[in-house]
Amino acid sequence: MKRTQRETEDSARQIGRRSLVVGGLFVATSAVLAARMRYLQVERADDFRLLAEENRINIRLLPPARGLIFDRNGVIVAGNEQNYRITLVREDAGDVDAVLAELGRIVNLDMVALDRARAEIARRPPFVPVTVADRLTWAELSAVAVNAPALPGITPEVGLSRIYPMGGDFSHVVGYVGPVSDYYLEQTGDTDPVLQIPDFQVGRNNVEARLEHTLRGSAGTKRVEVNAGGRVMRELDVDAPDPGSDVQLTVDAGLQNYVEARLTGESAGSVVMDCQTGEILALASAPTFDPNLFVRGISTAAWNGLNADPYRPLANKATQGLYPPGSTYKMIVALAALEAGVVTPGDTVNCPGHMDLGDRRFHCWRRGGHGRMDLVQAISQSCDVYFYDVAQRVGIEAISAMARRCGCGVRHDLPLSGIAEGLAPTMQWKAQNRGAAWVVGDTINASIGQGFVLSSPLHLAVMTARLATGRAVQPSIIRSIDGISQLPAPAPDMGFDPTHLDYIHRGMWQVNNDRRGTAYGSRVDVSAYGVAGKTGTSQVRNISAAERASGVISNADLPWERRDHALYVGYAPYDTPRYACAVIVEHGGGGSAVAAPIARDILLRAQLGEIPPPELYPSNQRRDIERMHRELPILPSPLVPSGRTVRSQA
């Protein structure tokens, strides 16, 4: 609208007038607000101070009971126990030191914990309760409650604390909980109010951490009227906390206990899977540690001890440890070759003990050579030269593709911390990561699971399960949550030619059951429980030509950290495969001498559900096996499902 100068001036004048009216309303309203402020904050300040200090209504958060973790048979592997403790609120206590001194006359106070509590009290706002004494007996708690009038700001409390009844057996599966740290809050950005509860515990790793929100539950509230001393005058109402969900693992606590015990003394990792369903029945890493140490914050001495141990108890070797798989990789090479059609099972390769490539000489583990080998023999006697030859025909791309199909060099999605991806190398990988072109020597190294190839026991167990059943089983470790099954659908077929698989199976059977097989010593005498497998020994050092000339130094003469890794993968029973197992003993020496016997025992224990009787072993080994089992540090079996422990806050 075009306006004249006069209209514009009229309009501006009117807007000006009315704006001033509105401005007047602003000022008037603000004056009313200021007056109200003055009334509440100045004139009635004393009333409200009194209300605030003397008779205030507080909402206290009630911690939820953390969900329990069971094994597949209902044995509790992570539970909750009653914990009697004493908290102090600084602003109610007044003179903190005097109150603590008085408290010290009634119960024994741990000086170190007390110093920590003092620092905590100074750091936290004055109204936050801080725990000054923990894990008291009922008698001590009662004594404090009786003396309450002399102890302002002190509250005896009953809380729940995590307990791991199986000790170290499940520290690499279940993990542990710990106190909520500032770092934790920073990292997770978690604003759940339950984290503000003193001594609240959160999962720090493995299942406890990865299923934190499933296990945690949500806080309840209790409205209480408290007096100036912080003492609860009456409870107004309670909104009960919502406990966390219970989690059932696929792991069998009895088997897990046996595997951990069987690995004791070594630095080793092992995974046992149901090779039909993919359920992980045991996942062990030795040495282990007591997760209960971490629940209330581990002492510096214990922490340093765990870190200084050369056997690295904190590392989960079953899922985080990566090793050259050695000869356990040969089935992958064989299957890739059969599928590519570059060999038939009947084709033979002559093994003179070495193979020359240009000016490099690649040795077989048997210096004198194996002679003519076909596929089944090459697997059972683990002839390196056969696989050098075959691998060159297949090529690294087909080998690594087969490895990934079998579950090596891929990250398996389990709710555990830091699962390693492993490596099935390709030409492109080497170009990108090493800046060098792939050479035939790399393929030859890869053909016997050395060089760039890296796998964890988890990878090898999945591989074994897939080879044994020909089905694409996926590993899983959570069986159910609050009774609702979490298991995956039945695995689809891998699409392998059954006759190819049959030759692989026969090779693996002969490893344990043919006189010349590399693990013949680890056979089972009753064929219904028969074990098929493959040994592996992977070098962690280069053997120089000079050393080879003067005779390779035997493992026993080497320092521990330079000895070979011992590996074994296997499944049982041979006819109807049910259990797959992978064992790696770090710097253990030879796979056939060290890893295979352990795996045989584990597979027998898995099949029988109890300590295998000596009759299943070759007659000349029975006495030793019996003694070994007698001395094994295992829990009395069978473990009894203990049902529910403490569920809710008292």
- Residues forming the site for other proteins (CB under 8 A): 1-3, 5, 7-12, 14-16, 18-23, 26-27, 29-30, 32-34, 36-38, 40-42, 44-45, 47-49, 51-53, 56-59, 91, 125-127, 185-186, 189, 191, 193, 196, 221, 223, 236-237
Query: Residue 25 CB, nearest distance to other proteins (Å)?
Result: 9
Give the span between the Cα atoms of 473 and 487, in whole angstroms.
Answer: 11
Q: Helix or strand or coil: residue 638?
A: coil
Closer CB to other proteins, 183 or 301, in the complex: 183
DSSP code for 609: S
Secondary structure (3-state) at 237: strand
Is 181 noted as a catalytic residue in this protein? Answer: no
Residue tagged active-site, from 327, 400, 447, 538 = 327
We find the least distance from the C-beta atom of residue 244 to other proteins, in angstroms, to be 22
List, as own/partner pairs, every contact residues 636-641 make where C-beta atoms lie below 8 angstroms and the sequence separation is at least 24, other chains included.
Answer: 637/254, 637/257, 637/258, 637/610, 637/611, 638/254, 638/609, 638/610, 639/71, 639/73, 639/75, 639/253, 639/254, 639/257, 640/75, 641/70, 641/73, 641/74, 641/75
Contact status, residue 456 vs residue 325, Cβ threshold 8 Å: no
Q: Terminal CA-to-CA distance of the chain, rounded, Å?
A: 77
Smallest distance, other proteins to C-beta of residue 281, A:
42
Residues with Cβ within 8 Å of residue 89, at least 6 apart in sequence: 126, 127, 128, 129, 130, 153, 155, 230
Cβ-based nearer residue to other proteins, 26 or 138: 26
For other proteins, give the closer residue by CB, 56 or 354: 56
Q: How many CB atoms lie within 10 A of CB 558?
A: 15
Q: Which is nearer to other proteins, 11 or 544 (CB)?
A: 11
Least distance to other proteins from the beta carbon of 61, Å? 8
Nearest to other proteins of 185, 632 (CB atom) = 185
The gap from C-alpha 439 to its chain's centroid, in whole angstroms, comes to: 37
Closest distance of CB 644 from other proteins, Å: 31
Report yes or no: 223 and 58 within 8 Å, Cβ to Cβ: yes
SS (H, E, C) 510-522: HHHHCCCCCCHHH
Contacts of 535 (CB under 8 A, 6+ apart): 327, 328, 382, 511, 518, 519, 567, 568, 590, 591, 592, 595, 596
Nearer to other proteins by C-beta: 40 or 148? 40
* Cα angle: 57, vertex 60, 64; to 5 degrees: 155
Asked, as a colleague might, if the bond just before 291 is cis with ω within 30 of 0, I would say no
- Cα dihedral 19→24→26→31 (10° resolution): 170
Closest separation in Å from C-beta 27 to other proteins: 7
Q: How far apart are CA 607 and CA 605, in angstroms?
A: 6
Q: How far is residue 604 from each of residues 13, 597, 626, 628, measured CA to CA in Å?
A: 100, 11, 14, 15
What is the smallest separation between the CB atom of 63 and other proteins, expressed in angstroms?
Answer: 15
Q: Which is nearer to other proteins, 51 or 150 (CB)?
A: 51
Of 53 and 624, which CB lies nearer to other proteins in the complex structure? 53
What DSSP state is assigned to residue 365? S
Least separation in angstroms between residue 46's CB and other proteins is 8
Which residues form the catalytic set? 327
